[in-house]
Structure 1
Amino acid sequence: MIVVFPDYTISAFPCHLSSSVLYYSMVIFDNGRFGTLVNIQKKLALLVAGLICACTFSIPGISGAAAGETAGAPSLVFDSDPGSDDALALFLMKQRQVVPDLVLATYGNAPEKQTSSNLVLVLGDLELDLPVYHGADRPWKGKKPRYREPGFNGKDGLLGLSDTFRDKNEKNGRKLVQPGSLEEAREKLKQHRHITYVATGPLSTLAVLVQDPDIKSRIDQVYILGGQLAAPDPETLGEANFAWDPKAVKIVMESGLDITLFPVELTGTQYIEEEELQNLSRQGTWPEFLDLIRANQAAHAKTGEENAAVLPAIFPVLYQLAPEQFAVEDRRITVDKNGQLQENPQGTLVHAVLGVNPRYQWKALEKSFGQ
Structure 2
Amino acid sequence: MPDATQTAATPSAATEPAKIILDCDPGHDDAVALLLAHGSPAIDLLAVTTVVGNQTLPKVTRNALAVARIAGITGVPFAAGAARPLLRQVEVAPDIHGESGLDGPMLPEPAFDLDERHAVDLIIDTVMAHEPGTVTLVPTGGLTNIALAARKEPRIVERVKQVVLMGGGVHVGNWSPVAEFNIVIDPEAAAIVFEAGWDVVMVGLDLTHQALATPEVAERIAAVGTSPAAFVGELLDFFGQTYKDAQGFDAPPVHDPCAVAYVIDPTIVRAVKVPIRVETQGTLTLGMTVADFRAPAPEDCRTSAAMELDHDRFWDLVVDALERIGETADTDWTPRAAADAVEAGITTTPEI
Q: TM-score range by the shorter chain?
A: 0.7 to 0.9
1:176 aligns with 2:116: no
Counterparts of 1:232 and 1:107, CA distance in 2: 20
Q: Which residue of the partner structure matches residue 319 of structure 2?
A: 366
The 1:150/1:189 distance shift into structure 2, 3 A limit, reads same
1:84 aligns with 2:24: no
Counterparts of 1:232 and 1:294, CA distance in 2: 23
- Report the alpha carbon displacement of residue 249 of structure 1 after superposing the two structures with TM: 1.0
The aligned amino acid for 1:312 is H
- Report the alpha carbon displacement of residue 127 of structure 1 after superposing the two structures with TM: 1.8
Choose 1 or 2 for highest CA Rg. Answer: 1
- Report the alpha carbon displacement of residue 236 of structure 1 after superposing the two structures with TM: 5.6
Counterparts of 1:217 and 1:228, CA distance in 2: 26
1:281-340 CA distances to partner (integer Å, 9 max, x unpaired)? 233222112211222112222225222132110111111222112211111122212111
Q: Which has the higher contact order (CA 8 A, sep 6+)?
A: 2
TM-score (norm: length of structure 2): 0.75
Equivalent residue of 1:271, what SS? coil
After TM superposition, the structure 1 = structure 2 runs for residues 3-14 of structure 1, keeping only pairs within 5 Å, are: none
Residues 131, 159 of structure 2: 8 Å contact kept:
yes
Residues 88, 186 of structure 2: 8 Å contact kept:
no
Counterparts of 2:120 and 2:221, CA distance in 1: 41
Q: Which has the larger displacement, 105-114 or 209-218?
A: 209-218
Q: Which residue of the partner structure matches residue 207 of structure 1?
A: 147
Q: Which residue of the partner structure matches residue 191 of structure 2?
A: 250
Q: Which residue of the partner structure matches residue 30 of structure 1?
A: none
Residues 77, 114 of structure 2: 8 Å contact kept:
no
Q: Which residue of the partner structure matches residue 292 of structure 1?
A: 235
Q: Which has the larger displacement, 183-192 or 295-304?
A: 183-192
The aligned amino acid for 2:113 is V
Counterparts of 1:238 and 1:203, CA distance in 2: 14
After TM superposition, the structure 1 = structure 2 runs for residues 138-287 of structure 1, keeping only pairs within 5 Å, are: 138-140=84-86, 142=87, 145=90, 150-161=94-105, 164-166=106-108, 175-180=111-116, 181-182=118-119, 184-185=121-122, 186-194=124-132, 195-211=135-151, 212-230=153-171, 238-285=179-226, 286=228, 287=230
- Report the alpha carbon displacement of residue 143 of structure 1 after superposing the two structures with TM: 5.2
1:342 aligns with 2:278: no
After TM superposition, the structure 1 = structure 2 runs for residues 48-63 of structure 1, keeping only pairs within 5 Å, are: none
- Report the alpha carbon displacement of residue 104 of structure 1 after superposing the two structures with TM: 0.4
The aligned amino acid for 1:206 is I
Counterparts of 2:119 and 2:307, CA distance in 1: 33
TM-score (norm: length of structure 1): 0.71
The 1:74/1:298 distance shift into structure 2, 3 A limit, reads closer
The 1:153/1:187 distance shift into structure 2, 3 A limit, reads same
The 1:238/1:183 distance shift into structure 2, 3 A limit, reads closer
The 1:155/1:74 distance shift into structure 2, 3 A limit, reads same
Equivalent residue of 2:261, what SS? helix
Equivalent residue of 1:294, what SS? helix
Counting aligned pairs with the same residue, the percent is: 22
- Report the alpha carbon displacement of residue 131 of structure 1 after superposing the two structures with TM: 0.8
Q: Which residue of the partner structure matches residue 131 of structure 1?
A: 77
The aligned amino acid for 1:343 is A
Counterparts of 2:193 and 2:320, CA distance in 1: 34
The aligned amino acid for 1:139 is P
After TM superposition, the structure 1 = structure 2 runs for residues 300-311 of structure 1, keeping only pairs within 5 Å, are: 300-303=243-246, 305-311=248-254
Counterparts of 1:73 and 1:304, CA distance in 2: 37
Q: Which residue of the partner structure matches residue 337 of structure 2?
A: none
- Report the alpha carbon displacement of residue 208 of structure 1 after superposing the two structures with TM: 0.2
Counterparts of 2:279 and 2:20, CA distance in 1: 30
Q: Which residue of the partner structure matches residue 55 of structure 2?
A: 110
Counterparts of 2:17 and 2:213, CA distance in 1: 33
The aligned amino acid for 2:107 is F
Counterparts of 2:287 and 2:211, CA distance in 1: 23
1:154-185 CA distances to partner (integer Å, 9 max, x unpaired)? 11111243xx2316x6xxxxx32224323642
1:95-117 CA distances to partner (integer Å, 9 max, x unpaired)? 21224101100100001111111
Q: Which has the larger displacement, 302-311 or 240-249?
A: 302-311
Counterparts of 1:87 and 1:96, CA distance in 2: 14
Gaps of 5+ in 1: 1-71, 170-174
Counterparts of 1:238 and 1:143, CA distance in 2: 16
Counterparts of 2:55 and 2:273, CA distance in 1: 32
Residues 82, 109 of structure 1: 8 Å contact kept:
yes
| Structure with the largest fraction of strand | 1
